[in-house]
Amino acid sequence: MTSYITIDPGVNGGIAWDSAQLASCMGMPAVDSDIAEEISLLYSMRPGIKCIIEDVPKFVGKALPGSTIFPLAFNCGLLRGIAITLRMPIILVRPQDWQKHFRLGTKGETSGTTEWKNKLKAEAQRRYPHLKVTLKTADALLMLAYAQEKQL
């Protein structure tokens, strides 16, 4: 069975992984070296694990100002560099793709970001009742479920 590390690269993102059919998660560490250490540790426990990273938007505008996108893109590059150094297979997944998989509607169909994020968090909690799902870890956990179900 394929194992995964799934990563929401946002500053307030998270990391999820599976081990022996059980999922775990954590918020994104604040320090780059801590991020590298955590991913390296996870990889050492499961050689051959695939790294799924949420792809970042390529366009910035009013909805996504540079002050929001820059840290996201920086973290995405950092995470890819860590995975490449460890020789982990990397799969980039667009948020639209993994979100559509769960048939929860779209962010545009809600009253805004808060309602949408809470909807995603509720779905992650439903799928992983043994975990304390937070807004930081919900996306990474749903990406884990997506990767497992799609067998990426």
What is the per-residue pLDDT across 37-92, written as a single tens digit (0 to 9) for each?
Answer: 999 999 998 888 999 999 987 766 666 666 677 888 888 999 999 999 999 999 99
pLDDT of residue 114: 87
Tokens representing residue 93 in the block: 């997944």
Confidence (pLDDT) at 61: 65
Residue type, 95: P
pLDDT band, very low/low/confident/very high, at 105 (cuts 50, 70, 90): confident
By CB atoms closer than 10 A (0-12, 13-18, 19+), residue 52 is buried
Measured distance CA(110)–CA(116) in Å, rounded: 6
CA distances from 142 to 38, 50, 84, 112, 126 (A): 20, 16, 23, 19, 10
The angle subtended at Cα 8 by Cα 135 and Cα 25, nearest 5°, is 65
Per-residue pLDDT at 59:
67
Report the percent of the chain where pLDDT is more than 90: 69
- Report the residue count for the chain: 152
C-alpha span between 54 and 108 (Å, rounded): 20
Homologous superfamily of the 4-150 domain (CATH): Ribonuclease H-like superfamily/Ribonuclease H (3.30.420.10)
The pTM of the full predicted model, rounded to 2 decimals, is 0.91
